[in-house]
Homo-oligomer: A and B are copies of this chain.
Amino acid sequence: MIYFRSDYSQGAHPEVLKALGDTNNEHTDGYGIDRHCENAAAIVRKLIKRSDAHVHFMIGGTNCNVTMIASALKPYETVIAARSGHAYFHETGAVEATGHRVTTAEACDGKLTPEGIEYAMSEFQDEHTPKPAMVYISQPTEIGTVYSKAELTAIRDKCKKYGLIFYIDGARLGAALTCGESDTTIEEIAKLCDAFYIGGTKCGALFGEALVILNDALNDHFRWMIKRQCGMLAKGRLIGVQFEALLGGDDPLLFRIAKQENETASLLRDGLSKLGVKFLGSSPTNQIFPILPDRVIKELEDDFFFYVWDKAGEGASAVRLVTGWGTTAEDVDAFLNRVKELI
């Protein structure tokens, strides 16, 4: 069985695993206060050229989103997101569990638009309506599309207009930054928003994300919030060690992995296109959504493991194919050959 199920179907990239092994017998203090977390934080600050950034190592994406949102919002405030945004759509109401609404707007190619923010703001009137105070987007989006610098800037401008905090969910940030369509650097990301995270789980780590807070006000007692939201790892250094491995050096491993994930996905995309396959959305990253006849999908499922994403009209469906750090050219060829036979 070949997996295009997700970018988290294997363990850690070998270099990350090696780092965990090399440091395994060291003793350090717990809860993310140790030399590895300190060093990894310094690496992040250097990478984004922001010596004033606060860096927290978080156990996972949902925990990262929820802790950031619950920490930043006052009780009567809400976060604006695309209805397809992960924090709304795939986190089982974890944001609302902390007492806050996710004010939704329809997405366009997976992206929240400035008009969507205007729409959300139009629901806000006075003390009878909760007050939007933050904008949440995912870069890349949940369907693999990427905000351009101009789009990010337009959202940032709306945030400034309305006094909204701008937060970017970067579960697959590496993929966004290294794809062909990318016109934004990580430094620019850090300039545009108030907080974002660099996803490790989907880019070579066993688990863990690096949350970067650029706005001092958002960092107040943040470690209290991490603990309260159940995200403080006893052996906190584990995430620091992994991010040292992922982001250290001149040519950070995380971006090399992301680039390779994108390239393998491109091979798939190009191969399928040549076979006449159409796609849902226009993802340039490591998730693609080809539309295939249902009978083909049924046959493919014998040898390949992937999600059937959505109905796509008469006898066809979009499937989601995701490439990970361990996806090989052979995996891609096997899939393309089988589609060729079936189509």
Contacts and interface: CB of A to CB of B under 8 A. Distances in A.
A307 to B, nearest CB: 10
Given A94-B227, A207-B235, A207-B238, 20 more contacts: A3-B27, A6-B234, A11-B25, A25-B326, A27-B305, A27-B326, A29-B305, A60-B234, A62-B227, A67-B230, A76-B93, A76-B227, A89-B123, A91-B128, A92-B130, A96-B101, A98-B99, A130-B228, A131-B221, A131-B224
A192 interface: no
Contact of A9 (B11, B30, B89, B127): B30
Number of copies: 4
A312 to B, nearest CB: 15
A195 B232 CA distance: 23
Interface stretch (A16-24, A107-115, A176-184): A16-24
Interface string A45-75: 0000000000000011111001100110011
B98 A97 contact: yes
A193 interface: no
Contacts of A30: 5-6, 8-9
Interface centre among A8, A102, A201, A223 (most CB of B within 10 A): A8
Contacts of A202: 234
A175 B168 CA distance: 43
A319 to B, nearest CB: 15
A219 interface: no
B230 A231 contact: yes
B20 A92 contact: no
24 contacts: A8-B234, A9-B30, A10-B26, A14-B24, A17-B20, A21-B21, A27-B326, A31-B127, A60-B234, A62-B227, A62-B232, A75-B228, A78-B96, A90-B128, A90-B129, A91-B128, A92-B227, A94-B229, A96-B130, A99-B99, A101-B102, A202-B234, A206-B235, A229-B230
A99 B101 contact: no
A226 interface: yes
Interface in A209-246: 221, 223-235, 238
Given A24-B12, A25-B11, A100 B89 contact: no
Contacts of A104: 104
A336 B91 CA distance: 51
A28 interface: yes
A150 interface: no
B62 A78 contact: no
Nearest to A327: B27
B11 A29 contact: no
Contacts of A21: 17, 21
A228 B8 contact: no
A233 B26 CA distance: 25
A13 B6 CA distance: 29
A76 B129 contact: no
A121 to B, nearest CB: 14
A-B interface, 10 closest residue pairs, ranked by CB to CB distance from nearest: A11-B24, A93-B130, A76-B224, A63-B230, A3-B27, A127-B223, A92-B227, A8-B234, A9-B27, A92-B228
Nearest to A25: B10
A6 to B, nearest CB: 6
Contacts of A235: 8, 11, 201, 206-207
